[in-house]
Amino acid sequence: MAAWDSRNGRGPLAPRGPANPAAAFRHLCRSSPWKWQSLRFEYLDRPLTSSASSPTALPDGLIRAWLRRPGALRLETADGLVIASTTGINDSRGGFYVSSTRKTWLLPPHLVTPVYDDDGLVRRRPEAAYGEPSFGNGRFAAALDPVELAGNSPVPLEFPNANAVELGPITEVDHEGRPALETTVSPNPSYRPADPAAPLCRPGRTLLRIDAGTGVCVASRWLDEPGAGDGPAGYGHWLRILGVDEYMLDDLFLAESMNLTDVRRHISWDVPAE
């Protein structure tokens, strides 16, 4: 199958048949590595209440993040305090390859071609060096590439409980000004989260939203949690995308500046008068 620009498509729920919404949702969950290379966003490691889905004030615990694939991450508090920053992104990897295994020679996902569906979403993911930078717990990285909700490829037959999660009705919603797909999921025995201690969905029902443009899981909320479930201490996360594929200098991710020039800014050249 020929390569495809996955940023262009007819839309996440373009009508093609009765099974399309569920298939489109799963394909979107597999598509993140080919949808973007850099992301600027805000992240909260708990779900927002329904009344605060678009907060006017910054919630406690909110962090701002800049991520450039592969592996470059910067995190700040809402007040601008740097709490994490990648170091050594330009270090030599010679020793890594000398003592390597077959897995360490895998290419980054954007350098290999998956199998696309007719809308440019990923139907089957190839073998590649997947993995996102993590912070706090594994749900941070899983939200950026929520393939655990769908698996690397479709199940051979759509038997009951054959997929990683069972999907409820799928609807198109607006999440912080961006289109997203929302559904309620329930994990099956075959569900294998990237971090078993911090899965995207817990036993029972979990409400999920997947951004249609990036394939990122922008919100999760466990509906069957004992107690309120959607209160301030509920299980889940919330993410607001602020920029996609923006130009990001190495200086943004290093502890010490390399004094690189931001080529987006005009450089004045003053010629002294004689």
Residues 70-92 have pLDDT tens digits of 888 999 998 888 888 886 665 55
**What's the confidence (pLDDT) of residue 52?**
45
Domain hosting 190: range is 24-50+58-252
The pTM for the full model equals 0.81
Instruction: Judge contact between 134 and 188, C-beta under 8 A.
Output: no
Evaluate whether residue 220 is within a structural domain: yes
Does any domain span residue 132?
yes
Residue 3 in domain? no
CB of 114 within 8 A of CB of 126?
yes
What SS3 state is found at 77?
A: strand
Query: Residue 16 carries which side chain, given as an amino acid letter?
Result: R
pLDDT in tens, 102-128: 677 788 898 999 999 988 999 999 999
Residue 31: inside a domain: yes
Question: Is 273 a member of any domain?
Answer: no
Q: Domain containing 79 — which CATH number?
A: 2.50.20
Report yes or no on 109 lying in a domain: yes
Tell me what pLDDT residue 93 has: 56
Q: Is 270 part of a structural domain of the chain?
A: no
- Examine the pLDDT at 5 and tell me if it is beyond 70: no
Within a domain: residue 12?
no
Taking only the tens place, the pLDDT of each residue in 199-236 is 999 999 999 999 999 999 999 999 987 765 444 468 99
Q: Residue 265's pLDDT band (boundaries 50, 70, 90)? A: low
- What is the tally of structural domains in the chain? 1
In the predicted structure, residue 20 carries a pLDDT above the cut 90: no
Report the C-alpha gap between 217 and 200 in whole angstroms: 9
d(C-alpha 204, C-alpha 194), whole Å: 18
Q: How confident is the model at residue 186 (pLDDT cuts 50, 70, 90)?
A: very high
